Each structure stands twice: as structure tokens, then as C-alpha cells.
Copies of this chain bind each other. A is one copy, B any other.
Amino acid sequence: MTHTGRHFLQIPGPTNVPDRVLKEIAQATIDHRGPEFADLGVEVLERLKGIFRTHGPVVVFPSSGTGAAEAALVNTLSPGDRILIFETGWFSHIAWKQVAERLGVNVEYVPGTWRRGASPETLEQRLKDDTARELKAVVVVHNETSTGVVSRIADLRRAMNRSGHPALLIVDAISSLASIDLRHDEWEIDVTVCGSQKGLMVPPGLGFNAVSEKALAANATSKLPKAYWNWEEMLKANKSGFFPYTPATNLLYGLREALRMLDEEGFDNVLQRHARHGDATRAAVRAWGLDIVPENPAEYSNSLTAVYTPEGHSADRLRQTILEHFDMSLGTGLGKLAGRVFRIGHLGSFNDLMLAGTLSGVEMGLALAGVPHKPGGVLAAMQSLTASTQKTEPASAAR
């Protein structure tokens, strides 16, 4: 079956990369030690601060987001250090618990149902109980990409502050940055971890660490072996816009353009757009009569929606039908949600009609795959979208 037109890449990342970004990454590679590169480096590193909402440095690695997670750990911890990781889903497990353990860190994994975010109450209690101050860091996935559940970082921060515990706060913002409100400085996050391929609208291949003063202090004494991920030499070279080893120049071209685009749109508009699309998607799912993974409306994700298929109906079979018939990629269920959940990405370079096309693909796929549902999801989504759109004045016959 030959596909025509554009593929709908509606997994929750990598997201659709804008043409403006793609054309930039296709520009000729330049000398990464020359003056033209310095301009690129300085602009990118400065603009990143705005997106992470920090006045501190943001380190950029040629790596995936998983690499950036590893970097956060090796730069702040020592072998045998104890850290707290909240179980929020597949990525809290695979990208954090498993990585940390492989690096020789002692992980205390706070169990979770995958339908709720990290609990501020649990965190506060656990930190208060840690009178010996053994916990060196708390790791929270801001937006669990496997479930579409958001952990309330501001509340978690307040819980930490109430406990008076000095543990670092490490936040995985891989699928939240530039989509869902995230404030590195205001929320006193110590390391915010991200990748290029989600809200930042750049192809995969860049990892990020926004780093607090406290994290820098931890870096100075941390003993996990590190070379590639070492912040120290990065920050030194970054001062003049350079990197200690060859950076992924062409991806940085794309990042510069994406950061300019986000700036043109305006930070608040970016968040509001994702909120509109999150609302409209959930309206569609409700109309279909299907369930979503998150239980708490305060924890609904605006970058993706994970939807259960009814008992006895494979979500992967549905995804396959949609891919074959409508050339749209949706996210698979991960870990214990495998086969039971499909995930709709609605983040990054996106708009109302792309969302309408996306939801139409799901609605038609449900029909073709014989998954029980009520039609009308797209209609509900359109009503949600128009309700949140400013009405134009009544059309007159005048041209």
C-alpha cells in the first residue's frame, strides 16, 4: 500500500520537525572552532536559558535524552549514593532506575500505579524520615511519556522545602519542556534533563542539562567516573560558545532555528496552544467512550494522551490498522501497558488541523479495527477547539 501526502508522526516524540528547522540542519557543516561557530554556540546557549526558565547554564550533549539523564547522575553523585526515584511509568524505570543502578547508585524506588504523578505528601514524609540525610537526590519525571501523567513539580518542591531536606531535585522534562509549564529557577530544580526531539521540534541527537548552583557544587565533589558527560569542561568551553569535543553542528543549526520559532510564538502562547490541544484530545476520547491513563485532572498531560482500548481489543492491532490505512504513527503501550494503551502525541510543531487529522485517523481506525466506541470524537474536539478560539465578527455579504 503506497502512502501519499504527509505522514502523521503522532508518537509523543520524536515530533514533526518544522521545515524551517529541517532546512537549517541541511546547511553546510562549519569549523567548530571558528568564529562563525562561536556565534551559533552563544546564541543557542543563551536562548536555551529562556526555554528552561533559568539564568544558569544549560549544557548540550551530542546524545539522546537518556544520555542527558545519565549525565545528570554522574555529574552529581558518587558510587553508592542513595537516591529516591518515583515510579511514574516506563521511563522512570528504564531511563532512571535502571540507568542509576547500572552506574552504581543506590535507588529507592517509590512505587506508583502509573496513573498518578509523584505524590508531594509521600515525598515530604520520606524526606522527613531521612533524618540521616542519606538521600542525595530526588528524581521525578515531569511528564511521563508512557502514561501522559504529569507530576506537579512546584508542589513537590514545596514538599521538599517543608522537609528542609538538602537532597537535589532532578527533573526529567524530556516530554514537557516547551509544551508544559516548567520553571527551572522558580521551582529550584537542580538538574532539568531534556532532549531535542519533543517540544523543541528538532530531530533527536541532542541532550540537555539545565544546572543549578547547588548542582554545580555537587558536581565538584561527585565521584562517579565521568569524561564525556563532565559539566566542568563543557561550561568552561561554552563561555565563548565552543564545546570541548566536536558538537553535533547541524543539529545545533536546527536547534537555533527552533528556539527562534518558539520565541516568535511566545512562551505563553506555546503553553496555551498545547493546553488547547490537550483539552480537545481529551474531549475526543471522552466522546469515543474510552478511558485515558491519568486519573487526576490536575495531572493530565498536554503533550500526549494515553488511551486504553477496551478489554479484549489490542491497542497495537489498532495502531497497526491506523498506520497501514492512514499513514499515522501512534505511540505503543510500554511495559505493563503494552497492548492495552495507545498514545497520541500532540506536542511540538502542531496546529488545530493537524490535530483534527490526527483524531480523525484514530476515529476511523477504531471503526476499521472493530474497536467498540462511539463516533463523534472529532466533532467534540472541534467544538472544544472553536470554543477556545476567539470568534470573528459575523460574516457579511461584503467581500
Contact = CB atoms under 8 A, between A and B. Distances in A.
A378 interface: yes
A67 interface: yes
Interface string A212-252: 00000000000011111010000000000000011111110
Contact of A7 (B17, B30, B327, B328): B30
18 contacts: A2-B266, A3-B351, A5-B350, A5-B351, A6-B351, A66-B228, A66-B246, A99-B227, A102-B225, A225-B225, A311-B397, A312-B396, A316-B399, A318-B395, A325-B352, A325-B392, A353-B360, A369-B392
Interface of A: 2-9, 11, 13-19, 22-23, 25-34, 62-67, 70, 79, 95, 98-99, 102-104, 195, 197, 203-205, 224-228, 230, 245-251, 264-266, 269, 273, 309, 311-314, 316-318, 321, 323-329, 332, 338-339, 349-354, 356-358, 360-361, 363-364, 367-371, 375-376, 378-379, 382, 385-386, 389, 391-392, 394-399
Contacts of A397: 311-314, 339
A4 to B, nearest CB: 5
Contact of A328 (B6, B204, B353): B353
Contacts of A205: 62, 205, 248-251
A359 to B, nearest CB: 8
Contacts of A15: 29
Contacts of A79: 225
B314 A326 contact: no
Number of copies: 4
A195 B64 CA distance: 16
A83 to B, nearest CB: 14
Given A364-B389, A375-B382, 20 more contacts: A2-B269, A4-B273, A11-B31, A16-B28, A62-B64, A62-B204, A63-B63, A103-B225, A205-B205, A205-B251, A314-B398, A327-B353, A352-B360, A352-B361, A352-B364, A353-B358, A353-B361, A357-B360, A369-B394, A370-B392
A29 B360 contact: no
What 3 pairs between A and B have smallest CB-CB spacing?
A: A356-B360, A357-B357, A205-B248
A396 B7 contact: no
Contact of A360 (B227, B321, B378): B378
B34 A17 contact: no
Nearest to A99: B227
Nearest to A11: B31
A395 B312 CA distance: 8
Contacts of A269: 2
Contacts of A389: 325, 364, 368
A77 B326 CA distance: 48
Nearest to A65: B246
Contact of A28 (B22, B64, B99, B265): B22
A238 B11 CA distance: 21
A364 to B, nearest CB: 5
A382 B269 CA distance: 31
Contact of A356 (B3, B18, B230, B356): B356
Contacts of A70: 227-228
A206 to B, nearest CB: 8
A19 B30 contact: no
A248 B204 contact: yes
B14 A246 contact: yes
Contact of A63 (B13, B17, B33, B62): B62
A375 B32 CA distance: 31
B9 A19 contact: no
Contacts of A396: 312-314, 317
Contacts of A326: 351-353
